[in-house]
Structures are given as structure tokens and as C-alpha cells.
Amino acid sequence: MLQVNFLRDNKERVLEGLQKRQFRNPGLVDEAITTDEERKKIQFELDSQLAESNKISKEIGLLMKEGKKEEAESAKSKTAKYKESISELKSQLDVKEKELINILYQLPNIPNELVKSGASADDNEIIYQSHDVEGLGEGAIPHWELAKKYNLIDFELGVKIAGAGFPVYLGKGARLQRALVQYFLDKNVEKGYTEVNPPHVVNEASGYGTGQLPDKEGQMYYIQADDLYLIPTAEVPVTNLYRDVLLEEKDLPIKNTAFSQCYRREAGSYGAHVRGLNRLHQFEKVEIVRIEKPENSYAVLEEMVEHIKEILTDLELPYRVLRLCGGDTGFASAMTYDFEVWSAAQEMWLEVSSVSNFETFQANRLKCRYKTDGKSQLVHTLNGSAMALPRIMAALLENNQTEEGIKLPKKIADYARFDVIN
């Protein structure tokens, strides 16, 4: 969440950033500033009346000690009027503060200056590509057919049990999933991340803390009876470990990794691009989360990018890295890099990871600060997928198909304890 003082002091920059995002309601900036000014006027009047009421209360005590009962009673009648006015002002202040919060919740983060203006994924910048790519040629089949051929994934059985988007992994398919999860976690721990096993449900405050609410409310599964949400990513519970926490400077940086199931309604998704593992309602992902000092966060973002590159190199998959344009950057992010792997049978790029710097946007919502030189200031939060499994699995199956079967990359074969699926 952006701070009102930031909006007021950097209005031109804010409006330019919103324009990069193609944000349709820039008038919210002026609305927030005006609402905050109204809030301040009410607060000033409330503080003045509280001070005057307290002053009169002290005078009443002195008058009573001096035996001046009539004057004390007269003063009491004044305090009664103040109490009524103070109560009304507190009510007005509460309403105005809620109005302001509701406006601020609707404003996305301001993109970093390196982020280009753009409306959609077509405007994203390709900043790195590992290989020239091409299709596998005649006879190559997509992963959903390979999964059926080798009895790795049963999509129809998933439909029977839960509905479309909930596949059932079988045999070597399930073992390959488990091997990938273990490999990703081990790789992250080797880089200094502490493994966390978080809840897979969160409360409303946690959803607001990381920016999923209210922005993506329709995309989250909601458990009405318990007022809880199924997590769309482990980022939400892991980052919320530090909600309402005042850290010491020595505590930073904080590096966490977590494996979880992820649940996304993906409302409105349809078409050929969602076939098979391309888009699911439930999938497995390993996440990395960083809590950093502001001056270090962009160097850390680049470090995280290099870490994901290393993982994809180990997987022997052709990949590319994109810096997202303003219109494709997530609501809470100031800068995001997407990683895409080449699906040789489908002859298309599949997103498998996003790495983002949220700067203080989440920290302000979370009230996560750290002490430095006797003062407290907001931290910067970052997160990334390391990695999401469905499209990694799709690419591994498609890119490694041969007449003898699917040959796994050595790093993963060592974890899976088999090197060929046939």
C-alpha cells in the first residue's frame, strides 16, 4: 500500500507510474490526498477538544480542593458538552480513516523507473534467452498425450474427483513431482534460505497484508464457514510471518523458502493454452521470500534472478527472462521478472517463475519495520517461484521425448532414482 505522504510529495511520479500501468482511475490519487486532508482537520479538532477537556478536568479537581463547588459544577457542564462533541469527532475520524484505507487499497504499486510502459504481455522486454529454440518436428506429442501414454497423470480422474484443473499424478509422474520439489528445496537451502512449512489457509488480514486482497479476491478460494482463504502461493503465509513485527537491523536479511500446494480459481480461463498442465486450479510450488533493507533490494532481485537461471540450467530446459511492462506487472510489485521455458511439442513459451520486488508496498500493509540508528523504517519484501511445477513438468516431458521414452536430465534423474520414463 502506498503512503499518503508519498502520494502528496511525489504526485507527478505517481501519476507517471500509474500511466505506465495503464491504470484507469488515476483520480484516486487526488481523492486520497483530499480525504487525508479532511482526516487531518478532524484529527486536529479532536486533539484540540481533548486538550481543552483535559484542561477543564484538571481545573475541576483544583476547584473541588478549594471548596468552590459552584464553579466546579459549572465547569463540569462544559466537559459534558465536550464529551458529546469528542464522541462525534471520533466517529467522524473513524469513518474518514476507513474511507482513506479503502482508497489506498485500490492504488497499485508504482513501477520502478526501468519498467517500461505497456498494456499487456506483448509489451514485455526479453532481457535474456538461453538457447535458440525450435519444435521437435513431426511426431512430437504434447505433454497431456505423453502423460496418458506413460500413465503419469490422469486428468479425467481428477475431473471425476474434483473437477477440471485438479489432475491426479500416478506412478513415475508422482515420483517425478516429488523429486522436483525436493530438488528445488535443496537448491534453495544451499543458497542460504531457511525452509518453512506454513499453513495452506490464511485469514483476511494476511490476504490484505501481501496485496492479494482486495485485488484478487475473485481468484482465491474462500471458506465461508471459517472466514479463511486457500493460499494462491506460499508467499502469502510466509511473508505474513513478519506482519506487525519490528525487526532489528541484525536480523536482516531474512531468507525463507517453502513448499506448498497452491489454489487458484483462475476465473474466466479457457482456450487451448489451458490444456493439460498449462493452467490448473491446484498445483505444487516452491517459493522463496526475502525481507531486506531498502538499499539492498534491487541487488537482491538480480541475485534471485541468477538463482532461478541456475535452476533452469540444471534442468537443461531452454528458457528466457522477461522484464514485465507496467500493464503486465502485478498489483503489488514495483518490478517483476518472468521466466518462461520452451515447450517444444506445443511450440510455445510457458511461464514457470516470477521474481518480484515489492519495495515497501507490502511492508506498509504488514506494518513490518526494522530498527536502524534508533529509528524504525519499512523493510523491502521480495519473492519468487523456485519453482512452480506444472509447466516445468510439461516442458520436461515434451522436450525430452525420444523413441525409447522420456529421458530425464541428470540432476533430476538422481533425485527421482530413474532416468527414463517408458
| In contact, 292 and 379? CB cutoff 8 Å | yes
353 among the known binding-site residues?
yes
172: which residues sit within 8 A by CB, 6+ positions away? Answer: 150, 152, 416, 418, 421
> DSSP of 108-155, one letter per residue?
PPPPPTTSPP-SSGGG-EEEEESS------TT---HHHHHHHTT-EEH
Annotated ligand binding at 8? The verdict is: no
- Is 287 assigned to a binding site? yes
Say if residue 52 carries a ligand binding annotation. Answer: no
d(CA 149, CA 138): 17
Is 195 annotated in some ligand binding site? no
Residue 264, marked binder: yes
The annotation status of 233 as a binding-site residue, yes or no, is: yes
351 is in an annotated binding site: yes
Residue 235 marked in a binding site: no
Helical H runs in 199-271? 204-210, 235-239
Where are any strands of DSSP class E within 38-122?
Answer: none
Q: Check: CB of residue 296 under 8 Å from CB of residue 373.
A: no
Query: Looking at beta carbons, which pairs linking 178-183 to residues 24 or more positions away fall under 8 Å?
Result: 179/412, 179/415, 179/416, 179/417, 180/389, 180/392, 180/393, 180/412, 180/415, 181/259, 181/284, 181/286, 181/389, 182/415, 183/314, 183/411, 183/412, 183/415
The amino acid sitting at 312 is: L
383 marked as part of a ligand binding site: yes
Binding-site residues for L-serine sit at 233, 264, 287, 383
Binding site members: 233, 264-266, 287, 351-354, 383
- Going by the annotation, the residues of the binding site for ATP are 264-266, 351-354
